[in-house]
Structure 1
Amino acid sequence: MSEPSAVPINAGPFDPQPVTLIGRHVRLEPLGAVHADGLLAAGAYPELWTVTVQPPLDSAAAVARYLDEATRSTASGQEVPFAIIDQNTNELVGSTRWMDIVRAHRRVEIGSTWLTPRVQRTLVNTEAKFLQLTHLFETLGAVRVQFKTDLRNTQSQRALEKLGAIREGVLRRHMIVRDGFVRDSVYYGITDLDWPGVKRRLHERLMAEGAEAASGRG
């Protein structure tokens, strides 16, 4: 029997809105002014911003501009920004957002993701993505979730491939980053047909990484 290729006729509107997503290790909550101090502390690492369009969060003024932009994008329905919170310490450890939302085609991008260095290459990113993908596919009925990254950012590409996202191609000279460099962007995607397999692998990774962390080896 072939897999379904159409959205169920009883699917409700695809309308991503601010929501709190809670996991065992991380919590995603709508980004707001209450997160200003946490953003400044977590983002105070120049290496986070070397290949980004986003200016560094290296001052209170930079954080204020970041939050103002997030507020405007939320109010317009264009984006849904999140703070990523460590459940064990209640500290902000990064941010992510839903963007390029195309409601008519049930498509969304997970992007503008960054994590403070101490939680990189840990289960924080895995669980944050798992929570978002579960909500987008299973609660909202997304057909496609996509990601893009700078071609030079091989760490991000490895993380997306471990996630189970499919590398779909490169858009050449796609965006101008802060230093004037014209970057190539690599696109990855996960569709509703991919999701069951991706979900299974992500769940297995979370269990394995959680066990490793608990043993003191991670």
Structure 2
Amino acid sequence: MTEGAADGREERTRAVPTAPLPRPQPVTLVGHGIRLEPLSTAHVPGLQGAVTDGEIHRLPFAPHVPAPEAVEGSVARLTADVEAGTRLAWAVVRATNEQVVGLTTFMNLALADRGLEIGNTYLAGSVHRTGVNTAMKSLLLGHAFEELELLRVEFRVHHLNLASRRAVEALGAQQDGILRAHRILPDGSVRHTVVYSILAPEWPGIRTMLAQRLGRCRHV
């Protein structure tokens, strides 16, 4: 047998199922001091407080964060997407005080290819650098790889949003490339989109790393 034939056989043994995954359903995720609740209109007041906390709706490179008066409409659009099966959306609740501190979604569902994107995420300014983001990503990635049995989870970040890029890289995600002149933003600026991903075989090591990091967090 030639070397090329042996390599081809090895590649065939790595094949993944070709049947599309079933449509994922809203579910509550709990752990590490937070709770991710399926998004509903009941979360509107809490999210209005979250976007004013640190005025995160005014931060650069974050057009997805609504102003307080736009939260209700944003939630309505997101919940409509969930009903249509194109997205899952959660409110992030801090367990210690039951405070709604943010929002996150599974988006760009590619069920035939076993992939999706974690995006449209925002967190109140007061929980930045507290471990909440790490806890949230740990729950989302665990659900994606362990329950939904995905092959790939993707993150997309504005090329100038260095803080978000560092946060995604700290998760262990690998940069796949940059989509140049990918989007025209509401202010007329052009966004180059940096694409990152985590693959299923990488998740066990990343899960261990995140668990160690969360173990060092005093406040989540």
Q: What is the TM-score with the length of structure 1 in the denominator?
A: 0.88
Q: CA deviation at 1:40?
A: 0.6
- 1:16 corresponding residue in structure 2: 24
Match of residue 167 from structure 1: 175
Report the count of equivalent residues.
208
- 1-structure distance, mates of 2:173, 2:135: 15
Stretches of structure 2 lacking an aligned partner (at least 5 in a row)? 1-9
From the CA coordinates, give the structure whose radius of gyration is larger: 2
Does the 8 A contact of 2:105 with 2:118 survive in 1? yes
2:82 to 74, 78, 87: 74
* Deviation of the 1:14 alpha carbon: 4.3
Cα displacement (A) at 1:55:
5.4
Deviations 1:129-177 (A, max 9, x none): 0011111101110000000010111000111111111111111111122
Q: Indicate the RMSD between aligned Cα atoms, in angstroms.
A: 2.1
> What secondary structure, in the 3-state scheme, does the structure 1 residue paired with 2:193 have?
strand
1:188 maps onto 2:196 in alignment: yes
Corresponding residue of 1:33: 41
Choose the corresponding residue for 1:53, options 31, 45, 63. Answer: 63
Matches within 5 A, 1:1-218: 5-7=14-16, 13-44=21-52, 45-48=54-57, 49-54=59-64, 56-59=66-69, 62-209=70-217, 213=218
In structure 1, stretches of 5+ residues that fail to align are none
Identity of aligned residues (%): 38
Question: Partners in 2 of 1:12 and 1:56 — Cα distance?
Answer: 33
Distance 1:29 1:201, change over 3 A: same
Between the aligned partners of 2:153 and 2:159, the Cα distance in structure 1 is: 19
3-state DSSP class of the match of 1:43? helix
AA matched with 2:104: T
Whether contact under 8 Å (1:53, 1:176) holds in the other structure is: no
Residue identity opposite 2:115 in structure 1: R
State the TM-score, normalizing by the size of structure 2: 0.88
Name the aligned partner's letter for residue 75 of structure 1: E
